[in-house]
A and B are shown apart, each in its own frame.
Chain A
């Protein structure tokens, strides 16, 4: 099926600006869901607040549009009560790593099974172009008229250090890679992070003279290179794309289910359950 079969057509044309990369991220994500043949009923998309968070209005899954920075906390609640569901959590760079930074670290530390998507446009789009922890030094923003002096987080290093068992980065120019990484991330059991460089022509583009959407995509192409490539080795200033970590590790929900099982056995040793013990 085409991605158009997985959207709420009544809300189209969507509200994102012309050329906004967030629509391309949605496009690839829907292709990945289709490729994996997951039923719409088995997916819960939980978002916070921001332009990126609007994705939850457009995707025709179970969806929750919650609080700025808190999407992962709500998603944790859903996953703990219904572990069989697939959780997709699209977040802006501010949503994920400024106000939501703490939730991000702890969801990664627990290695809870969900797919966290960071739509990194290096700016707060929804509120008019303030800089974010992923903007980096030298970037112009409404809150940095003389350019920002704050260095940026490396979302991939942060995710790995905090305990995420899958972390990948690509851009909205690399659309095949994007779909592939979403597919790998969704299949992965544990906390998966996919960081996508996504263009905000309206604020980041204008403030930083980065051009319109096609020029910004060209920049994603020219300024990045695949992990392990000769190109990256020869030019280490390029930003690496690729899968940074993919490892098997104890998943939080499974650990919790085991603990519940143990507790039940200890409390009532004579009571027998069938193969399927009830959930805590």
Chain B
């Protein structure tokens, strides 16, 4: 995925499966996996808006720019 600009880092051990990030990500980039934990499913779509990391009550999400680290 050459065009991917953002990385969605999720601390699974902190995620409590509340579904907030899944419900409110404007581009539906996050899903809950079979264990019920949040998982980046469509990272290429992520616009880096930070809504999920701000809404997450468990501080389990960090959005990182791939351009800054490249």
Q: Select A16's contact among B57, B60, B62, beta carbons within 8 Å.
A: B57
What chain A residues lie within 8 Å of B24 (beta carbons)? Answer: 214, 217
Minimal beta-carbon separation of B58 from chain A (angstroms)? 6
B58, A14: Cβ atoms closer than 8 Å: yes
A19, B59: Cβ atoms closer than 8 Å: no
Q: Which residue of A lies closest to B63 (CB)?
A: A2
Report the number of A-B residue pairs with Cβ-Cβ less than 8 Å.
71
Mask: chain A, 68-94; 1 = CB below 8 Å from B; 0 = not: 000000000000000000000000000
A23, B58: Cβ atoms closer than 8 Å: yes
Minimal beta-carbon separation of B52 from chain A (angstroms)? 10
- The yes or no answer to B42 lying at the interface (CB within 8 A) is no
Knowing A19-B18, A214-B19, A214-B23 touch, does A27 contact B54 (C-beta < 8 A)? yes
- The yes or no answer to A57 lying at the interface (CB within 8 A) is no
B57, A24: Cβ atoms closer than 8 Å: yes
Q: Which residue of A lies closest to B60 (CB)?
A: A13
What chain B residues lie within 8 Å of A20 (beta carbons)? Answer: 57
A20 to B57 alpha-carbon distance, docked (Å): 6
Knowing A13-B14, A28-B54 touch, does A23 contact B19 (C-beta < 8 A)? no
Q: Which residue of B lies closest to A58 (CB)?
A: B59
Q: Select A27's contact among B16, B19, B22, B57, beta carbons within 8 Å.
A: B57
Mask: chain A, 169-180; 1 = CB below 8 Å from B; 0 = not: 000110110010
What chain A residues lie within 8 Å of B55 (beta carbons)? Answer: 24, 27, 172-173, 175, 217
Q: Which residue of B lies closest to A213 (CB)?
A: B18
B20, A214: Cβ atoms closer than 8 Å: yes
What chain A residues lie within 8 Å of B58 (beta carbons)? Answer: 12-14, 16, 23
What chain A residues lie within 8 Å of B17 (beta carbons)? Answer: 18
Besides the contacts A13-B58, A16-B58, A18-B17, what 6 more A-B pairs have beta carbons closer than 8 Å? Answer: A12-B14, A19-B57, A22-B57, A27-B56, A179-B54, A217-B55
A229 to B14 alpha-carbon distance, docked (Å): 38
Q: Select B19's contact among A7, A19, A21, A172, beta carbons within 8 Å.
A: A19
- The yes or no answer to B2 lying at the interface (CB within 8 A) is no
Minimal beta-carbon separation of A132 from chain B (angstroms)? 20
Knowing A13-B13, A27-B54, A31-B54 touch, does A213 contact B59 (C-beta < 8 A)? no
B59, A7: Cβ atoms closer than 8 Å: yes
Knowing A213-B19, A214-B24 touch, does A21 contact B57 (C-beta < 8 A)? yes
Q: Select B59's contact among A18, A23, A172, A218, beta carbons within 8 Å.
A: A23
What chain B residues lie within 8 Å of A175 (beta carbons)? Answer: 51, 54-55
A170 to B46 alpha-carbon distance, docked (Å): 27
Knowing A18-B18, A213-B20 touch, does A4 contact B59 (C-beta < 8 A)? yes
A23, B57: Cβ atoms closer than 8 Å: yes
Q: Which residue of A lies closest to B62 (CB)?
A: A2
Minimal beta-carbon separation of A204 from chain B (angstroms)? 15
A64 to B47 alpha-carbon distance, docked (Å): 39
Residues facing A in B1-57 (CB within 8 A) are 13-14, 16-20, 22-24, 51, 53-57
A138 to B62 alpha-carbon distance, docked (Å): 39
A4 to B62 alpha-carbon distance, docked (Å): 9
- The yes or no answer to A212 lying at the interface (CB within 8 A) is yes
What chain A residues lie within 8 Å of B19 (beta carbons)? Answer: 19, 212-214
